[in-house]
Amino acid sequence: MKTKYLVTCNPGLEDIAAKEITEELPSARILLRKEYKGRIIVEDEQDEYVMTRLIKLRSIHSAYILLAQDTIGKTVSDLDKIYAIVENSSIDRYIPAGASFAVRASRIGEGHEYTSMDVARITGDAIGRVYLERYGSAPLVRLNSPSITVYAEIDEDIYRLGIEITGERSLHRRGYRIYDHPAALKATLAYSMLRLIGAHDNSVIMDPMCGGGTVAIEAALLFENSKILCVDKLSKHIRGARINALAARVYNRIHFYVHDARRLEEIIPEDSVDFVVSNPPYGIRMGDPTSVRRLYRDFLPSLYKIMAPDGKAGVITADSHYFAKYAREAGFKITSARKVRHGDLWATIFILEKH
């Protein structure tokens, strides 16, 4: 019997997540729509193998068995529709007698008269009503450590109901991240950027502003025979990156350097790096966009020198205008630019190649 799953990922990188899903689950049917930002519907068998493969994906945040999806309005009275949606779902197949449950909810978009807490409360009430009508008693609500976690979301005007299968902790929170850089790149975003630039094994891969080492660690976990370079001008971040690499058990496969990214040619041979992924500082976050633009102006010519003639770089920034300007001045060709959600900002991932 085919089952639908709701998979969440970084908005703007749905195609990368869909590709990884297809690689791991060749029989899966993927549904992507422009309005499903950060959401993918997957149809496949409901069995342990499928759910285990979903949990092991590196580009996704969460996965749920999707029980229902329907349109809903933005006024408080529209939430009454949730009762009918829950009643027509197969929720009672997933919360057995004697089990406890909790509802986690989110509300995405603007203009709603209600909060995510309202969505959770009414969904929980609806589940209780369904069980009382069908079985004479309702399952126990337990907000902490429930047996079953029910997920409900309203995404603009779409209500979705699901059963959580990947745990309440987002999969982007890798277990190896002991040292947490203040502007760390999500591991799922780092993985996706490596995929975007076509990084592969038996190559030289570098992050010239590595912070806590997320890009380098994700590359080391993906590629066993690549030379991976982790560079940052602050020794405290390199110490943190070393700690994280030890936790990920890839320490011996990463080369760490305390060095300024504006002078990479001093430590790295010219024309030697095949792939670069970087998350440089953002002016918006640092409060001084002028200094960040100077960094881009000085960093990009140095990056150009050390990249292989057929190399590729993926760089994410919120200051897209000036980054593109200085990239072209340094001699790079911008082959693509895509908007992605990075924390609370919409940023741009630029793919650069040498002319």
User: Considering all CA atoms of the chain, what is the largest pairwise distance in Å, rounded to the nearest integer?
Assistant: 74
Element (H, E) at 157: none
pLDDT (0 to 100) of residue 283: 52
pLDDT tens for 234-243 read 999 999 999 9
Same domain for 28 and 152: yes
Same domain for 141 and 62: yes
Tokens at 55, concatenated: 């949990």
Residue appearing with tokens 């405290």: 236
On whether residue 334 sits in a domain, the answer given is yes
Look up the domain containing 52 and give its range. 2-164
pLDDT tens for 45-101 read 888 889 999 999 999 999 999 999 999 999 999 999 999 999 999 999 999 888 999
Same domain for 160 and 112: yes
pLDDT (0 to 100) of residue 47: 83
On whether residue 90 sits in a domain, the answer given is yes
- Rounded Cα distance between 209 and 45, Å, is 42
pLDDT (0 to 100) of residue 287: 53
Domain CATH number, residue 328: 3.40.50.150
- Rounded Cα distance between 212 and 241, Å, is 4
On whether residue 171 sits in a domain, the answer given is no
Same domain for 234 and 149: no
Same domain for 141 and 63: yes
Query: Could you give the 3-state DSSP secondary structure of residue 66?
Result: strand
Domains held by the chain: number:
2
pLDDT (0 to 100) of residue 181: 87
Same domain for 99 and 25: yes
* Domain endpoint, select from 112, 131, 164: 164
Same domain for 233 and 143: no
On whether residue 179 sits in a domain, the answer given is no
Nearest alpha-carbon partner for 330 in 338, 340, 322, 339: 322
* Domain endpoint, select from 164, 195, 224: 164
Same domain for 311 and 218: yes
- Phi, psi for residue 215 in degrees, rounded to 5: -60, -45
- Rounded Cα distance between 189 and 34, Å, is 19
Sequential pLDDT tens for the chain (355 residues): 789 999 999 999 999 999 999 999 999 999 988 778 899 999 998 888 899 999 999 999 999 999 999 999 999 999 999 999 999 999 999 998 889 999 999 999 999 999 999 999 999 999 999 999 999 998 999 999 999 999 999 999 999 999 999 988 899 999 999 998 888 899 999 999 999 999 999 999 999 999 999 999 999 999 999 999 999 999 999 999 999 999 999 999 999 999 999 999 999 999 999 999 999 987 544 556 788 899 999 999 999 999 999 999 999 999 999 999 999 999 999 999 999 998 888 999 999 999 7
Same domain for 158 and 18: yes
Residues listed for the chain? 355
Domain CATH number, residue 91: 3.30.2130.30
pLDDT (0 to 100) of residue 182: 83
Same domain for 200 and 149: no
On whether residue 177 sits in a domain, the answer given is no
On whether residue 326 sits in a domain, the answer given is yes
- Phi, psi for residue 248 in degrees, rounded to 5: -85, -5
On whether residue 309 sits in a domain, the answer given is yes
pLDDT (0 to 100) of residue 120: 97
Give the Cβ contact number of residue 26 at 10 Å.
8
Same domain for 252 and 334: yes
On whether residue 173 sits in a domain, the answer given is no
Same domain for 236 and 324: yes
